[in-house]
């Protein structure tokens, strides 16, 4: 039988000026995830690749300007 685990919830306390940083970081993260999700939808063959190729192939579709 599996052993029970206890969840501990602890509030995070940080300086108020960090709130804007956290919001900007979340927005950037969401944009990056949306970009790669769109790449995978456009190139469904990426889903059939092996592990290492699956990590590097989406990067090859990234274009830096």
The average confidence (pLDDT) of the chain is 88
Residue 4 has pLDDT above 50, yes or no: yes
| Mean of pLDDT values over 34-41 | 89
Cα maximum dimension of the chain: 55
pLDDT for 65 equals 46
Token pair recorded at residue 37: 């999700």
| Mean of pLDDT values over 14-19 | 92
Angle at 39 between CA 33 and CA 45, to 5 degrees: 125
Q: What is the pTM of this model?
A: 0.62
Spatial contact of 58 and 39, defined as CB atoms under 8 Å apart: yes
| Mean of pLDDT values over 13-35 | 94
pLDDT for 64 equals 61
Q: Where do the domains of the chain lie?
A: 31-65
């Amino acid at each position: 039988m599996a052993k029970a685990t206890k969840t501990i919830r602890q509030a995070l306390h940080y300086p108020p000026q960090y709130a804007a940083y956290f919001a900007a970081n979340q927005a950037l993260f969401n944009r990056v995830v949306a970009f790669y999700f769109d790449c995978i939808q456009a190139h469904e063959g990426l889903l059939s690749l092996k592990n290492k190729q699956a990590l590097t192939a989406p990067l090859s579709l990234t274009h830096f300007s």
